[in-house]
Amino acid sequence: MKKLLALVLIAALLPLGLFATGAKEAPVAEPAPVVQELSHDELVARAKEEGKVVVYATTSRIAKAADGFTKLYGIQVESSNLKDFELIEKVAKEAQAGVSGADFVLAQDAGRLVGELIEPGYLYNYVPPTFKDVIPKNMQNPLQAFAINKVFIYNDEGLTESPYYNIWQFADPKYKSLLQFKNPFQEGVNANFLTMITNEYWSKKIADAYKSYYGKDITLTTANAGFEWIKAIYENDLIVGTSDTTIAENIGIKGQNAKRENPPVGLFVFSKARYATSKNLALKPVMEMEPFSGFYYSLYALMAKSAKNPHAAKLFIEYLFTEEGFSPWGSDCGTYSANPNNPIQEDIDFPFEVWMPLLVEEEGAYCFDNRAEVEEFLNQYIY
């Protein structure tokens, strides 16, 4: 706990490297519309004249946010909850066909968003003027509404501390068939995480963790230690799941630890930790894992170039940064508003400033440039 308190004092949000260059050729960007800044009252007036807003989102909680927005402003919301790849493909196809679909999106998978929707100009950035001095600068372009963490979580029944402390344990035959992780081909953010750990910074950290665990330097059979860890966990019989919910339930069932040498563990969204209470499961995060305890990704609020109701869309984006607008996500653990004034569930969660140094961050440009190589590498283990 002392280490965690120290982290609160020293942690700072790290910038997302969304504009790094890479070998992969990105689509030619079109100029974004000129964004006219209006006062809040002016924006409300124009939004009410439009009377409607259409949003595509990768989260079902958008429906609750839409209800709150309509009650507050009297503006109708047409919301669609889509999988990440469905949203990206739908927005791209509609834009290419000249069809007006969403007014704005609340979407994940930074790599594909940057490369396939932002660069071609189908989506553009808008930061509510009322929150420009509140949202951290490094979260403003592309605009991150929320951050979500996926962390190593184990069954803590009968345990006083975590038996897991180094990611290389999951490559050790002593821990064979232990780690559970959702199929990265089913969720882009998982593929982005595996891509990020192959960069120079994280592959060096992973090599250092190998030496810390085995007491010797790593011998590479792949491009770097990041690829080596990916290869090692799959060859050590990584359990590939199809749902974070199912993985959490499998991990947390009580009565398992008495029958097995090592408690089950998975890498999944921390929001499922609430099942410890709601479903009487045994779930606890690993807060001190070398060199990382998981990763985080963001939900981006981005305007559509073809928006029919741009003012209502901008007002809804502004609403998402208010305490009321964040409440559908803030009512549980594991989601963190880019407005640091919005509260978290302190009884079951930690501030994002605590999590940040423990997690691999998602960088859109790096993922766009390098994910295809990582996915090709994964093909030999998943298919």
pLDDT in tens, 77-102: 999 999 999 999 999 999 999 999 99
| From the candidate CATH numbers 3.40.190, 3.40.30, 3.30.10, 3.40.50, the one assigned to the domain spanning 149-295 | 3.40.190
Report the alpha-carbon distance of residue 15 to residue 4 in Å, rounded. Answer: 21
- C-beta atoms surrounding 108 within 10 Å: 25
Whether pLDDT at 223 is above 60:
yes
Give, as one character, the DSSP assignment of residue 217.
P
Read off the pLDDT of each residue in 183-188 and give the average, rounded to a whole number.
Answer: 95
Whether pLDDT at 22 is above 80:
no
* H-type alpha helices, 300-340: 310-320, 323-330
For the chain, what percent of residues have pLDDT higher than 70? 90
Read off the pLDDT of each residue in 131-144 and give the average, rounded to a whole number.
Answer: 96
Residue 216, class by beta-carbon neighbours within 10 Å (0-12 exposed, 13-18 middle, 19+ buried)?
exposed
Q: Same CATH fold, 149-295 and 30-147+298-349?
A: yes
**Domain at 30-147+298-349: CATH architecture:** 3-Layer(aba) Sandwich (3.40)
Strands, E, within 220-293: which ranges?
Answer: 239-241, 265-269, 284-285
Residue 280, class by beta-carbon neighbours within 10 Å (0-12 exposed, 13-18 middle, 19+ buried)?
exposed
**Domain locations in the chain?**
30-147+298-349, 149-295
Read off the pLDDT of each residue in 241-267 and give the average, rounded to a whole number.
Answer: 96
Q: pLDDT-based confidence at 59, cuts 50/70/90?
A: very high
Q: pLDDT-based confidence at 347, cuts 50/70/90?
A: confident
Whether pLDDT at 75 is above 90:
yes
Report the alpha-carbon distance of residue 129 to residue 307 in Å, rounded. Answer: 19
Report the alpha-carbon distance of residue 20 to residue 153 in Å, rounded. Answer: 32
Give the pLDDT confidence score for residue 289 in this predicted structure. 97
Read off the pLDDT of each residue in 56-73 and give the average, rounded to a whole number.
Answer: 97
Report the alpha-carbon distance of residue 7 to residue 10 in Å, rounded. Answer: 5
Give the pLDDT confidence score for residue 28 in this predicted structure. 40
User: pTM to 2 decimals?
Assistant: 0.88
